Amino acid sequence: MYLESRGRVHPLVMAPILVLTILLAPIGFLVFVAVRQSARERPRIDVGSRP
């Protein structure tokens, strides 16, 4: 889950999700899937590029 979320989800958002997944596996996984889906729906913004 961590490797899949790199670059899409901020680490401060992923940390509690990972802890929740360790403690309550099914609920944490569902939260991860929801966050991953919302991250896919938003367009990625590349701050370092210039036209």
pLDDT tens digit string along 9-19?
788 888 888 88
Structural domain includes residue 11: yes
Instruction: Determine contact, residues 37/48, Cβ cutoff 8 Å.
Output: no
Structural domain includes residue 14: yes
Which structural domain, as residue segments, surrounds residue 6? 2-41
Instruction: Determine contact, residues 39/9, Cβ cutoff 8 Å.
Output: yes
Mean pLDDT across the chain: 75
Amino acid at 51: P
- 9: alpha, beta or left, given left = phi > 0 and alpha = psi -120 to 50? beta
- pLDDT of 45 > 70? The answer is no
Instruction: Determine contact, residues 36/8, Cβ cutoff 8 Å.
Output: yes
Number of domains in the chain: 1
